[in-house]
Chains A and B, each alone.
Chain A
């Protein structure tokens, strides 16, 4: 009997041992994934299951939500057009779909090109440019934009931006090897539109190559990508005489008059060397090159208003840059143009229909908790001086908050005054000129309370120049009434805390409570801030995605905001006496919020262009520096998510 028992116990022990090891292995695999890569632990299975559609660059949690909104916006726009509720909108829509556009081909812009082609010398060419800018306000020689004075938030001034290459490629990126593929595709597109225009292939190539050489030369003299990391670089106020010295080869007074800037005496020039380089080209020896450059510039800018042949080339370029993209579809194209031009009317209507009072209350409650947290955190900060702390808290007290949609909205699109049967080109010029003239009308005036982007875009924004946080109505899409308060804290709470944190990132901290560029930090505080900022840059630069190291310097502002936001929402959870499960809800909701899967080419493009770190890094790097995460998931020094206390980073 005794032996039977022994055998039974032995057999049972063996079975338990085997079962236990199988369980430990399975559990360890899951746990292993968690402590090595939390982003993948939360999102991996779902991302693996779903394939990227053929015409898409990828998908993401936020992208899916935005697509749902975009579909709603398409329906709403179609409804407004079908019911003829907005005359201007119907006119623009009809002009996109009209056969006239295809029949006219290049004709809408032909007269401008002819003017350029007929120029015999530099003076004639400049006269042609003045005439063209008088009509089209393209800013072919200068790129003026009206915005709040960095040093006086009570008035708007004119900023002169560098000349652009278009398609999102700024001049400073043109000669940067990181953008060589991008540049090649733009050159390819340029050759194709020149061929479409009527040039032989060989000639088109020759023209394109000569323009590239010119842009390379200008880019070499211009500010570099990294120079733009310092926001103060945008602010260099010069007077008209200085501008004349920079642009000695043009009639500055005449040109400013044409651009409706005759009364402006001071300008903030972003990159004077860029203008000087352009100026050096404005002579008779470069006449043919300049004629080609301006011709291409006009065709590229207005290709969207020309016949389908040109529009399709534009679509092709987009697809090649991203690695995938939607095929041209006339209905969709017409809707997109209308939605862009009439965003104020459409997105406001959409916001009013979908953004509920409860959404507003929930966001406002989160904002209140988050701002209170930051005040307490700054107050209890050990390395900031008293004067800096006081001013920081004052800045938080002065924070302007915009949630959902404004009570009253100025619909600029009602003032377009489009005329039936005008061509698409004429309509777009009218819309552009309205926007340009409206901006010019704001010079020297007090900046108005303008919502910075579409209400139907899932995004959020901190504007340092009016010290405001902006949360458009589209955020309702990521708020589910069934979500626990901690899930909401991990998603919407993170977004809000991130934006508030921007008030004190490397750029935001340079602006005071009124939104003015003002050095309100003590020297010691700045030194400590910079030390921490540099450590954050180094920390993120260690992360690699697809072989490319994250650019810790370029992304430092967003990373500071991410780190601060996570600390903030974790502390709020702590004050609500969250349990371990609550924290897990918060962290998983945060990781899911950034869930995304993109094709390699698009991922690489994002790394090159985006000021945010890649999504997986945003999640893992932030959590590896969050102390509470270590307790909640028992992270040990042997886990990949582990960073020693000294290596963990954060400004606050």
Chain B
């Protein structure tokens, strides 16, 4: 095998894509998708995370009540001097509900026909229940009666068996970002592979190339490496954009900040992520070449790559459906998404990581073998 021929082929393929404005435009914006995606989601979560409900009241809150309300969250109290003032504030939509205290009676005024009204009513009832319990505690204490003997005759405890640090919104954002990295590898490798196979056939340049003193093995190896390099490069650039965009969203959107996301990760994890992106690119490049090899046109090549586009989405769906993802560790491409997800989420398990890297390398070797066999066939080259 002549390595110089391989290098020339790699250069030719990469140049080909870089010169082809149409192909380039398909991939150049891909790394920016992640920041846009994350910021968009941050914005959506911010909208969904409605700011505190403004509640009016005709009394001052005691420190105990403030602590309870703080623990419940979502409520923001403002004192008004009379019922009339409260009614006006409600009509003017300055408050979402109000409470009037007369002696020991607290009356909640709230429109409970809508969802938010029901939520507010629930929060306010929780606050008053908790306050009532606190006053009852004080009363029992003042009578030298242990409140535990009244309220906690039966003890209930809940132990969180899940990951203490996991957060559903956090998980969704990260899973989607990770999915984006693998999708971008698939997309960009697909563009190069399509251009290198179906593109050559469509333009009729393959025959010309084969007249040169270059072996088909060298030609395929060159195309394969060019496809992998392109996928890996865009994957790594995307990775480099992922963390700053999370940080930026944290700065811009308070809801993300509330999730307490810590994006500072260890150098070993970064190294692992880079290795994974590279081997994923090698596998994806092989699959792309295999899938597009027999295509006669761009359109045909693109449609044959469709199936591959679904694989990176698998981890995301698994996360949403709460399906045990361990069985998918051997599914090619999808398993790389899972591995990236695990590394970023600090859930690295050595066994699963070894399975993923091992199987990916095995799949890569197998796919290289398949591609080399495929491209030995004249049917594939000249069909």
Contacts and interface: CB of A to CB of B under 8 A. Distances in A.
A177 B112 CA distance: 30
A14 B144 CA distance: 70
A24 interface: yes
B142 A184 contact: yes
B31 to A, nearest CB: 10
B67 A26 contact: no
Interface string B242-275: 0110010001000000000011110100100010
A24 B262 CA distance: 13
Contact of A22 (B68, B70, B141, B270): B270
B67 A188 contact: no
A25 B239 CA distance: 13
A201 B146 CA distance: 14
A546 interface: yes
Interface residues of A, number: 40
Interface string B225-239: 000000001001101
B63 A604 contact: yes
A180 B64 contact: yes
B362 interface: no
A124 B361 CA distance: 101
Contacts of A29: 247, 262-264
A205 interface: yes
B135 interface: yes
B240 A17 contact: yes
A632 interface: no
A372 interface: no
B8 to A, nearest CB: 10
Given A14-B233, A22-B270, A178 B240 contact: no
Given A28-B247, A191-B143, A608-B63, 6 more contacts: A21-B243, A177-B64, A181-B137, A184-B137, A184-B142, A546-B70
A181 B141 contact: yes
B133 interface: no
A184 B144 CA distance: 9
Interface in A1-39: 3, 10, 14, 17-18, 21-22, 24-26, 28-29, 32
B378 to A, nearest CB: 32
A546 B67 contact: yes
B67 A3 contact: no
B152 interface: no
Interface in B131-156: 134-135, 137-139, 141-144
A548 B144 contact: no
26 contacts: A3-B7, A18-B236, A18-B274, A22-B270, A24-B247, A25-B243, A25-B264, A29-B264, A177-B63, A177-B64, A180-B64, A180-B135, A181-B64, A181-B134, A181-B137, A184-B139, A184-B141, A187-B144, A201-B144, A546-B70, A547-B66, A548-B66, A548-B67, A548-B70, A604-B63, A607-B63
A10 B270 CA distance: 19
B11 interface: yes
Contacts of A22: 243, 264-265, 267, 270
B71 interface: yes
Contact of A205 (B67, B144, B237): B144
B62 interface: yes
A544 interface: yes
A187 B141 contact: yes
A180 B70 CA distance: 19
Interface of A: 3, 10, 14, 17-18, 21-22, 24-26, 28-29, 32, 177-178, 180-181, 183-185, 187-188, 191-192, 195, 201, 204-205, 208-209, 212, 544, 546-549, 604, 607-608, 638
What are the 8 closest A-B residue pairs judged by CB atoms, nearest first?
Answer: A547-B70, A187-B142, A177-B62, A184-B138, A184-B141, A191-B144, A184-B142, A178-B63
A195 B264 CA distance: 59
A191 B67 CA distance: 28
Contacts of B68: 547
B237 A14 contact: yes
B69 interface: yes
B71 A547 contact: yes
A25 B263 contact: yes
Interface in B58-98: 62-64, 66-71
Nearest to B68: A547
A21 to B, nearest CB: 5
Q: Which of A3, A21, A205, A208 has the most CB of B within 10 A?
A: A21
Contacts of B243: 21-22, 25
Nearest to A320: B141
B144 A547 contact: no
Contacts of A608: 63
A24 B244 contact: yes
A518 B368 CA distance: 95
B264 A26 contact: yes
Nearest to A212: B142
Nearest to A3: B11
Nearest to A27: B264
Nearest to A22: B270
Contacts of A547: 66-71
A213 to B, nearest CB: 12
Nearest to A10: B233
A180 B62 contact: yes
A544 B144 CA distance: 32
Contacts of A205: 143-144
Nearest to A547: B70
A188 B264 contact: no
A23 B135 CA distance: 51
B210 to A, nearest CB: 23
A598 to B, nearest CB: 14
Contacts of B244: 21, 24-25
